[in-house]
Amino acid sequence: MAKKKENKGKKFYISTALPYVNSRPHLGFALEIIQADVLARYHRNLGEEVFFLTGTDENGLKIARAAEEAGVPVEKFAKKNADAFYKLKKLLNLSFDDFIRTTEERHIKAVQKLWKAGKKDIYKKKYRGLYCVGCEQFYKGNELVDGLCPEHRIKPELIEEENYFFKLSEYEKQLRGLIEKDVLKITPSTRKNEILGFLDKGLEDICVSRSAERARNWGIPVPDEPGQKIWCWFDAVVNYISALGYGADDENFAQWWQENDNKLHVIGKGILTFHALYWPAALLSAGLALPNNLFVHGYVTVAGQKMSKSLGNIVDPAGLVRKYGTDAVRYFFLREASPFDDSDFTMEKFEDRYNADLAKGLGNLVARVIALAAKLKIKNEKLKITIENLKIKGEIGSAKENCEKALEEFKFNEALQATWELIGFCDRYIEQEKPWEDAENKSGVINDLLFAIGEIAVLINPFLPETSQKIIRQLQSLESAPLFPRLD
């Protein structure tokens, strides 16, 4: 309670990257948004005022081309897939506060305002370069791998046209200082070193517009020049401030962005450069505050391969939820996945985790203790608010401390490990005390276990919110129901 009072009025702003709407959601984005949701719930539980943002990136050539291939008007195509991403809120039990689409008027106005604010650093010139539509960016020849885009493994298109450029090179020294001193903190440190290595090669100015013709006339127009569309990346990152009222609600924007030093972007490793260099440089050019933290996660592979339509290994999170439940999906990605490196998904790994940790671990513990309490006819109002066994009290304290420390470092797997170590201790305590052999004289043991389970419910709340509430209801009613039915 003391910590909640201490944090009252403190603001925490968290955002995910915006997924492209050229296809429907897959496990890679599910991982990211579940991680962000845990952090949002955790900070709310600390008593902070939280604003959690997500949405969809709907501009760019790849969207227009995907709509053409589908034979659907681009506006209709974008909306259909944007709706699919919004439905993740219910599917994955997400607690985001706003969902922004980059085709919204509030976003368009903010993008054009930021363009004008940084106009001193924008100039026009003719350019010839290699463009990857998948990445929506130009590559230099030495950045390709065997002549292919390093991210999508496709041959870039040779483009020649007159576009606008942003003076990124002007901000090289300033960006280095901010990143080295952790004013803009990048976690993990390997990603920070990656960006500093990128800076060692020197920054070049970047192309920030496309001809309207090449863009299929899809995207946000450059102010006062409809023949040019703003580069979708230069437009998409503005969502982080357009959703806060940049250019529309000065007071809200000031509170949540300009005056707030608790701003976190959750992103994948493939878009680090955009967020660690291009986005901060645009903010510096416009005289605006920077984000404080970037948490960079790895990719989700499937049986050792990157997810790809051509390989046919795209896994739909909706199918997993329908079969195993929302919290089982959340648990797998938070416990099994590395917070910082690539993580592999297979159905075998998923079901092993489900049976061992959820059905046999947490589910079995709660069922056993509730059954014992019901057998002893312990009334909820008589449950002790203290705990007799100092060893259990110490284990609960350690679990809380370790879980909190791990979450502050974005180590979701270690946070859950700390909680499951407490579950394991409770299992051993039951076997040692055998309260079923002398229930009348061992009511204190059962009370201690009920208390511990209540603390476990609190610890898992940010991770498995639905299961947490189920446990609390069972503790109140002393009526047991399977939390995770064992798989055959």
Least confident segment among 261-265, 312-316, 401-405: 312-316
Is-contact 19 85, C-beta < 8 A? yes
Rounded to whole angstroms, the Cα distance separating 302 from 314 reads 8
Report the DSSP pairing between strands 137-139 and 122-132. Answer: antiparallel
Of 488 and 295, more confident: 295
Among residues of the chain, what percentage have pLDDT more than 90?
A: 74
Rounded to whole angstroms, the Cα distance separating 370 from 480 reads 6
For residue 149, the model assigns a pLDDT of 80
Is-contact 421 394, C-beta < 8 A? no
For residue 156, the model assigns a pLDDT of 81
Could you identify the residue written with the tokens 């990719």?
Answer: 299
Is-contact 421 433, C-beta < 8 A? no
Nearest to 210 by CA among 112, 282, 131, 150: 131
Between helices 465-477 and 364-376, what is the axis angle to 10°?
A: 10
Cis amide prior to 188 (ω within 30 degrees): yes
Rounded to whole angstroms, the Cα distance separating 408 from 189 reads 15
Whether the predicted pLDDT of 378 surpasses 70? no
> Regarding the domain with residue range 347-477, which homologous superfamily does it belong to in the CATH classification?
Isoleucyl-tRNA Synthetase; Domain 1 (1.10.730.10)
Rounded to whole angstroms, the Cα distance separating 244 from 258 reads 10
For residue 1, the model assigns a pLDDT of 42
For residue 385, the model assigns a pLDDT of 59
Find the helix or strand (DSSP H, E) in which 296 lies.
Answer: strand 293-297
pLDDT digits (tens, 9 = 90+) for 78-105: 999 999 999 999 999 999 999 999 999 9
Rounded to whole angstroms, the Cα distance separating 436 from 430 reads 9
Token representation of residue 63: 């969207």
Is-contact 373 450, C-beta < 8 A? yes
Average pLDDT over residues 231-251: 96
Could you identify the residue written with the tokens 């946000």?
Answer: 220
Tally helices (H) and strands (E) across the chain: 21, 16
pLDDT digits (tens, 9 = 90+) for 327-368: 999 999 999 999 999 999 999 999 999 999 999 999 999 999
Beta bridge partners of 225: 222
Average pLDDT over residues 223-233: 92
Looking at this protein, which amino acid is placed at residue 157?
E
Q: Domains of the chain: which residue ranges?
A: 347-477
Nearest to 417 by CA among 313, 321, 338: 338
Whether the predicted pLDDT of 5 surpasses 60? no
Rounded to whole angstroms, the Cα distance separating 115 from 105 reads 15
pLDDT digits (tens, 9 = 90+) for 439-470: 667 778 888 999 999 999 999 999 999 999 99
Band of the pLDDT at 4, cuts 50, 70, 90?
Answer: low
3-state secondary structure of 14: strand
Rounded to whole angstroms, the Cα distance separating 465 from 476 reads 17
Rounded to whole angstroms, the Cα distance separating 338 from 207 reads 34
242 burial class (0-12, 13-18, 19+ CB within 10 angstroms)? buried
Of 383 and 236, more confident: 236
3-state secondary structure of 104: coil
- What's the mean pLDDT when you consider all of the chain? 91
For residue 2, the model assigns a pLDDT of 45
Whether the predicted pLDDT of 311 surpasses 60? no
Rounded to whole angstroms, the Cα distance separating 219 from 234 reads 11
Nearest to 281 by CA among 361, 151, 436, 169: 169
pLDDT digits (tens, 9 = 90+) for 8-29: 789 999 999 999 998 888 888 9
For residue 396, the model assigns a pLDDT of 96
Strands in 11-16's sheet, in edge-to-edge order, are 98-101, 49-56, 11-16, 263-268, 293-297, 185-187
pLDDT digits (tens, 9 = 90+) for 111-151: 999 999 999 999 999 887 787 776 777 777 677 787 788 77
